[in-house]
Amino acid sequence: MARKRKRTASPPTASGRDYVQIAQDYAKLAVADKKGRKFGKWIRLAAARFLRDLKRNDLTFDSWYACDVCDFLEKLPHVEGVWDTPNIILHPSHVFFVVQLFGFRKPDGTRRFTSALFAVARKNAKSTLAAGILLYCLCCEVEQGPQVISAATTGDQARIVFNVAKRMVEKTADLREQFTLEPFANAIARYEVGGTFKPINAKASTQDGLNPSHVELDEIHAHKTHDLLNVLRSAAGARKSPLFLYTTTEGYESPGPWAEIRQFAKQLLEEVVEADHFLALFFAIDDEDDEFDERAWAKANPLMDVNPILLAEIRKEAIEAKAMPGRHAEFKIKRCNRQSAAATAWIDLTKWKECAGQVDLDWLSSYPCTAGLDLSSTRDLTSARFVWRVDGRYYTWGRRWVPEWAVAQRTQRGTVQYAGWVQAGHIVQTDGDAVDYAVVEEMFKADCARFKPSKIAFDSWNAQDICNRLIAAGLPMVQFIQGGKSYHPAMQELERAYTTGQLSHGGDPVLQWCASNLVPRYDANMNMAPDKKRSPEKIDDMSALLMGIGVLIGPSEPEPEPRIRVLGEESALPQETTVEPQQPAGPPDDWRRRFFDDDDD
């Protein structure tokens, strides 16, 4: 079990509530709701993670911290609306979040979680919760010169959380006296430790010089770029225990950080990636739910069971959304917390994880294989993957390369664990801002010498030079066009293999991450191909796997000429797209290059 420190209990509230027990009971109810009647998929997974983490021997859970912050929050006053009590009473969903955020500790006593996402439909008190958490961090976390920041795309948006916190301080004399707080128009000062709480907007270029200790990014979906987040993350590098708190309701798709954070949070909850520093709660109706089914609304609106006004407002908006198509998207996004245009992932992760069988490379080296080489990105992931079919079962193993720049960027943003994968040997890091193809070429040729693939599929985009050299070295390169007619048979075969348990991928975490990202596109004849534009993150390792399968099951008839040709055309490709190899020294007698034809790309 998670180790528990012995501490004096925090001062009891008037209700004497046991917050840790409330959080555990909430989690148990969510996990028990297997049919998803009240709790959505992502909350059920978050609850399972919490209960699982409480049993981990490598984690420490401190009930004192978990209760202390809840006790602090329930001493804060309501500052908006009319309520039955003058002070806040935390809803169990809020207790569930706060207990985890502050209860789990590192060996040095600091918080385990340095990033946290609280995504929920509108009017579920996320601003009040965020304001209370930031005040607790300003007052109670051990930090010299804390800089607490409420950040948003506009000054008005940033001031929403700040103004709630400011009014709480203004209305609570004991809070001001105990922690030497003084509220001003644009800041809350804490004199004892030289701390401040300020709102800032998204003019990232003007925010240099900051040293934030705790940051709340409000409505992160509205941020159009990563600029503000990047500036704040880099500025917080000197802090021992920073906190980045993301609070949001869903929004319309944009190129900002929200899509990346959302995808990372969902992959974390599905155990695709591991990130002990990141806490994620995502209240939303499920994909199969009808947006106008009142029974599903509680999944996105946890406060609906204690706030009849909220339920009444949602009912009115549902009536309008049904009658007026222009209101439908807004209702779906803001009241159901559903993506405006969600792309459907192709891989069933439950069945994929069941294929984590052993991949014995020494044993496989005596069997024939094929390979796929995806060189489409020089600034991020480059992948090579080998594929074997032995007694009807597929085995796969591969290498990946990323430049030092990409590892640094991903580490700073904290959404993909490239640094951990490099350390574990799952990814090879090359120096500089771009993948060093000389390193790729050397390692790939060594792997080919060991496994002797009969065909190596590649995408010609951005790969002409290295593929020329590989052909000159005698490797059996096969150009693989990136369209439905080429990919469809491979995707069908992979789908059949993994859903029936006829695939072993060794539990490769990078391949699993790429698999979870893959979104397909379809042509007019319903042929599938990976869609790199709509896939929320990198899919290069899956592309390499599919190309390897494609040449393994592809046409066996050799082309009549050694030049790369498009099937069905009478002449070779134009000179600038033709790969002309030097005559290799002693290649296999049946070596041929084939070009899978496709006219839909």
Query: DSSP string spanning 138-192?
Result: HHHS--SS-EEEEE-SSHHHHHHHHHHHHHHHHH-HHHHHHHTEEE-SS-EEEGG
CATH topology of domain 19-334: Rossmann fold (3.40.50)
Q: Dump pLDDT digits (tens) for 96-130.
A: 999 999 999 999 999 999 999 999 999 999 999 99
Separation of alpha carbons 407 and 421, rounded Å: 10
Whether 78 shows a pLDDT value over 70: the answer reads: yes
Question: Where is average pLDDT lowest: 224-228, 257-261, 395-399, 423-427?
Answer: 224-228
**Burial call 377-401: b when 16+ CB within 10 Å, e when fewer:** bbebbbbbbbbbbeeeebbbbbbbb
Separation of alpha carbons 498 and 126, rounded Å: 41
Q: Give the C-alpha distances (Å, rounded to integers) separating 319 from 121, 305, 335, 413, 572.
A: 18, 20, 13, 41, 62
Query: What pLDDT, on a 0 to 100 scale, did the predictor assign at position 69?
Result: 96
Architecture of domain 361-568: 2-Layer Sandwich (3.30)
How many other CB atoms are found less than 10 A from the CB of residue 226?
A: 17
Cβ-Cβ contacts under 8 Å for 188 (sequence gap 6 or more): 138, 148, 162, 165, 166, 169, 181, 182, 196, 197, 198
Average pLDDT estimate for 193-215: 82
Average pLDDT estimate for 454-483: 89
Question: Where is average pLDDT lowest: 119-128, 195-204, 325-334, 580-589?
Answer: 580-589
Separation of alpha carbons 249 and 120, rounded Å: 5
Confidence of residue 590 (pLDDT cuts 50, 70, 90): very low
Cβ-Cβ contacts under 8 Å for 35 (sequence gap 6 or more): none
Separation of alpha carbons 66 and 61, rounded Å: 8
Average pLDDT estimate for 425-453: 94
Query: What pLDDT, on a 0 to 100 scale, did the predictor assign at position 116?
Result: 97
Whether 580 shows a pLDDT value over 60: the answer reads: no
Q: Which residues pair with 403 in a beta bridge?
A: 430
3-state helix, strand, coil in the chain (%, to 5): 40, 15, 45
Average pLDDT estimate for 209-228: 88
Separation of alpha carbons 344 and 542, rounded Å: 16
Task: State what percent of residues in the chain have pLDDT above 90.
Answer: 65
Q: Dump pLDDT digits (tens) for 518-542.
A: 989 888 778 889 998 888 889 999 9
Task: State what percent of residues in the chain have pLDDT above 70.
Answer: 88
pTM score over 0.85: no
Domain boundaries, the chain: 19-334, 361-568
Which amino acid is located at 285 in the chain? I
Separation of alpha carbons 303 and 125, rounded Å: 8
